[in-house]
Structure 1
Amino acid sequence: MKKIFFPVLFSVFASAQKNQLIELRNSIKDKGHIAKSLTLIDLREDKNIGTVSHREEPYELKFESEDLGKLFADWFSENNKEQGSIEYFLIIESLKANDIPTERSVTGHLEMKMATFLKRNNTYYFLKKSKISKDYAPKDHAYVTRVMAAGISAQIANIIKDSYDEKGLNVPVSETELGNYEKIISERLPVYSGPFTDGVYADYKSFAEQKPDKELVVKKNPEGTIKGVKRADGYDNFKRDVFAVVDNGIAYKRTPVSLIEIEKDNEGFFITASAEEIFPPDNTLLIAGASNAGAIGGLVAAVIDITAAKIRRQNAKYYRIGIDALTGEYILPEGFGKSR
């Protein structure tokens, strides 16, 4: 009897393990009807997501089906009855959830990294990537595990929907190279392989491929100091977002308050800036003639003086702020802005 009792007891205990399912219910409808399919590429070494507690009870987070390839393909098909010709791919590189002990309870923590590609002529082209690191405190969420599961589903849906509108970097990657796509793509981008080309770059894609906007030129004063950007035909009474400008082979990143020189080290491109220069309070805008509403594209309509940008606030704290090689987004260092 004893030989039978203990296995049965263990079986009952194991079946009591609670699961929190990640249900793919958010819309991923392609309104332009250009998408043909969505294929999941799961590059995770450990397929287990992890366990998070709700009211001191552990819940294991799982997708609603173990056949993830079919789950994602069916999700796409259900949302896209009318399909186009472009094959989309979602890469999940990491997805982990766990408890972090605190003084009075535990906080749920999520780490997630994804990327999207499209396939053309048997090669892959990068579209978007997303990296999430987020805490879910019980005091903020009545049901932490449900909120986290819903958050995972929403983040996946968001990157898929956003990818339909992305043009992508014009750097082909083979299927065998997808596991190391960030390093491979950055090494093949023109911006990393040669000198900067003078001109105005409206977005990061054009900067990465070193294709300046032909409709925009740098505006200078008689002394040769950069004062902003104008249209090549001389009309500059409009506002347009600008990522960077290159003058005499030197690249400058546009921030809401100034132009800051782009530097490079072993880790890639970066700028040295304060929190106020990246995310300025309303009353610290230094762009002459630019309102808060127009600050995003204010470089075009406003006057910016590089020499003034070099006169930095003495009481500010400056950081090495990386520029992501694939997206151009800021890579903020730990503790960024805490001294403000």
Structure 2
Amino acid sequence: MKKIILFLLFSVVVSAQKTQYIELRNSIKDKNHIAKSLTLLDKREDKNIGIVSHRKDPYEVKFEKDDLEKLFSDWFSEDNKIKGSTPYFLMLEDLKVNDIVNGSSASGHLEMKVSTFLKKGDNYYFLKKSTVSKTYRQRDHAYITRIVAAKIGSELATIIKDSYAEPVVDIPLAETDLSNYQKLIIERLPVFKAESFIDGVYKDYKSFAEQKPDKELEVRKNKDGIIKGVKRVDGYDNLGKDVFAIIDNGIAYKKTPTGIIEIEKDNDGIFITASEEELFPEGNTYTITGAAMGGVIGGLVGGIIDVTNSAARKKNAKYFRIGIDPLTGEYILPESFDKYK
């Protein structure tokens, strides 16, 4: 009798559970007609996405169709009537949602990790990686389940569209390497292999990782040898130029809104030691999300702090180890670094 009652209760719960579909409606049009196709590589160990509740009603979050490879292929074909010659691949590494209950209120949480590749011959080449970890509170969103599903669709569309114009990391990978792509790429990137850095100005993280400085830019110093910005090699100042990092006398520096901070390297990767105020000063318009999107924050303008004054600098604030993602250059913030979240 107990088994019958439990079965009936389970049936009621299942029948009461509703579904929130992830709609792939955002445009993924390749305006330059480079992409030939888009293939989904679903590497998730658990294919179930999870449940997010609207008020007290549980909704299972799902894609519109079970055949995901066809779903993504059709999405690409609908938006790209004129096709190019390069096959693109979207690898879904993680996708989970769940409820977070706090007293009488509940929030919806999303965890997602996706990466993109293109294929040349028999080899795959890494393009981009996107990681989302976000909580949606009931007081901020009237319909959390729809917000979460919409975020998944928009994030997938964004990384696909961005990937069309993204320069490849020039490290060939076999198909069997894709499940372990990050470790293999890191092992081969010059910035991790080399014992020293190459002097110069680096406009983005990929050029820094490959240790290929910009040939048109150089470090600008004052008469005392203090770094003040960057300039063009032909003598014209280029102070508003966005850059990722500069390397001077073998020492690498990361630009922040308040100055430049030395980039260090150990067995765990590359990182900077910085305070919250240095990365996100009061009154600065840059957000923690903007900083994470590649780590490029403004040009190397005049008035940069004296980097030799690091001893005095460390007496006046609480400092954190801020990792730099080895594939994207984004900041990896510690959990305690939450002032601006």
TM (normalized to structure 2)? 0.88
Match of 1:110, as an amino acid? L
For 1:248-283, what per-residue CA distance to the aligned partner results, in whole angstroms no more than 9, with x for missing partners? 211111112211111112220000011111122348
Matched, 1:211 2:189: no
Give the aligned partner of residue 315 of structure 1: 316
CA contact under 8 A between 2:22 and 2:63: conserved in structure 1? yes
Whole-Å separation in 2 of the counterparts to 1:333 and 1:197: 29
Give the aligned partner of residue 198 of structure 1: 199
Matched, 1:159 2:159: yes
Whole-Å separation in 2 of the counterparts to 1:7 and 1:272: 56
Give the aligned partner of residue 328 of structure 2: 327
Whole-Å separation in 1 of the counterparts to 2:108 and 2:157: 21
Give the aligned partner of residue 292 of structure 2: none
The 3 A distance-change label for structure 1 pair 43 and 223 is same
3-state DSSP of counterpart to 2:211: coil
Matched, 1:266 2:267: yes
3-state DSSP of counterpart to 1:299: coil
Whole-Å separation in 1 of the counterparts to 2:5 and 2:280: 64
Give the aligned partner of residue 21 of structure 2: 21
The 3 A distance-change label for structure 1 pair 279 and 339 is closer
Whole-Å separation in 2 of the counterparts to 1:297 and 1:147: 31
Gaps of 5+ in 1: 285-294
Match of 1:264, as an amino acid? K
> Pairwise mapping of residues 1-340 of structure 1 onto structure 2 (< 5 A)?
14-194=14-194, 195-282=196-283, 296-299=297-300, 305-308=306-309, 311-312=312-313, 314-338=315-339
Gaps of 5+ in 2: 286-295
Cα offset for 1:147? 1.6
3-state DSSP of counterpart to 1:179: helix
Cα offset for 1:302? 5.4
CA contact under 8 A between 1:236 and 1:300: conserved in structure 2? no
Cα offset for 1:183? 1.0
Cα offset for 1:320? 0.3
% identical aligned pairs: 66
CA contact under 8 A between 2:38 and 2:89: conserved in structure 1? yes
For 1:151-175, what per-residue CA distance to the aligned partner results, in whole angstroms no more than 9, with x for missing partners? 1111111111111111121111111
3-state DSSP of counterpart to 2:313: coil
Whole-Å separation in 1 of the counterparts to 2:185 and 2:262: 23
Instruction: Point out the more displaced range, 207-216 or 219-228.
Output: 219-228
The 3 A distance-change label for structure 1 pair 243 and 268 is same
For 1:53-104, what per-residue CA distance to the aligned partner results, in whole angstroms no more than 9, with x for missing partners? 1121211111110000000000000011111111111011010111111111
Whole-Å separation in 2 of the counterparts to 1:7 and 1:276: 56
Instruction: Point out the more displaced range, 221-230 or 157-166.
Output: 221-230
Number of aligned residue pairs: give it: 328
3-state DSSP of counterpart to 1:73: helix
Whole-Å separation in 2 of the counterparts to 1:23 and 1:163: 20
Instruction: Point out the more displaced range, 254-263 or 304-313.
Output: 304-313
CA contact under 8 A between 2:117 and 2:125: conserved in structure 1? yes
CA contact under 8 A between 2:229 and 2:239: conserved in structure 1? no
CA contact under 8 A between 2:127 and 2:167: conserved in structure 1? yes
Instruction: Point out the more displaced range, 214-223 or 314-323.
Output: 214-223
Cα offset for 1:296? 4.3
Whole-Å separation in 2 of the counterparts to 1:165 and 1:205: 14
The 3 A distance-change label for structure 1 pair 182 and 36 is same
CA contact under 8 A between 1:317 and 1:339: conserved in structure 2? no
> RMSD between aligned alpha carbons?
2.7
Instruction: Point out the more displaced range, 315-324 or 65-74.
Output: 315-324
Whole-Å separation in 1 of the counterparts to 2:43 and 2:260: 39
Give the aligned partner of residue 288 of structure 1: none
